[in-house]
Amino acid sequence: MLKPNDNKENMDNLNFIIAPEEAGKRVDKVITARLGEGYSRVFAQTLIRKRLVLINGKPAKASYPAELLDEVSVTIPPAEKNDLRPEDIPLKILYEDASVVVIDKPAGIVVHPGCGNMTGTVVNALLYHCGNLPEADGEMRPGIVHRLDKDTSGVMVVAKNDRALRSLSKQFQNRTVKKRYIAVVRGEVPLDSGVIEAPIARSSSDRKKMGVEFERGKNAVTKYKVIKRMKTMTVLSVDIETGRTHQIRVHMKHIGHPVAGDPVYGKAQEAPRQALHAEMLSFTNPENGKTMEFTAPLPEDMKKLIEGK
């Protein structure tokens, strides 16, 4: 779903010429500034990806450095109808105010609807609880500023209004949000701590998978510490400086210690489910500017795995 804010729905195109102060800047940044408040850089990038931005008559690339007097044409499609249904699905709420709601997501539930999966998601539950959520860019994911995989449990934050959505999105983009995970991985990790720096990109052979790609991947940094050694597994505390799709799972596989129970990058039979839990999340509250930190305790299935039960 590609939908601008309600107060901008009548804008269907934007044509302009690159001014001197815009020359040399990435075109996605220029477009974001031109569209004004209520439109994010992600929205501009989505338009570019859908070939709705032309520069001198040719489809643009987000990273293109704008040149003086370039002619830019931006087409903004009409808002699409949001057919998402609120559903009375229980939520474990850790915190809520006028701007945000922080939840402890259980494993086994998808964060937002997608193709063939329109119900039973966190978003459906939040729409029932909150009544309304701000539209995010590019997909049917109102209020969502970050995601956890279906089989990853733990803490996540959701925006309840447009201002919070913009603030939290910017915090994630600027990497000021702090995230810590607990992961149970296969084998004995030799070092007590380490840093994995390996760029990640979507697999060229399987579009559902990610992988370490040194030539075309995006920078990704994962830090880990061993908190317990088991006979055939190791329990890690993991901090991620970047938020690439499947980052921890891909990096753990890259060093030869895939997440236990991971059906994509490891072996599903090693654990009841993908043994990855988002333990802590820290961000600046858009409502009052205060730094807030939330933790989600280990769920019972991971406790039993770590205790060997």
Contact 120, 87 (CB under 8 A): yes
Closest CA to 62 of 18, 104, 32: 32
Tokens of 172: 């994630």
Respond yes or no: is residue 149 known to be catalytic. yes
Considering Cα of 40, then 45, then 51, then 53, what sign does the dihedral take?
A: positive
Contact 281, 291 (CB under 8 A): no
Q: For residue 215, how many other CB atoms are within 10 A of its CB?
A: 6
Burial class (CB within 10 angstroms; exposed 0-12, middle 13-18, buried 19+) of 25: middle
Integer Cα distance of 258 and 285 in angstroms: 34
Integer Cα distance of 86 and 119 in angstroms: 9
**Both ends of the chain: CA-CA distance in Å?**
44
Closest CA to 240 of 189, 294, 181, 291: 181
Q: Which residue is catalytic, options 149, 151, 262, 301?
A: 149
The order of strands in the sheet holding 53-55 is: 13-17, 71-75, 53-55, 58-59
Residues with catalytic annotation? 149
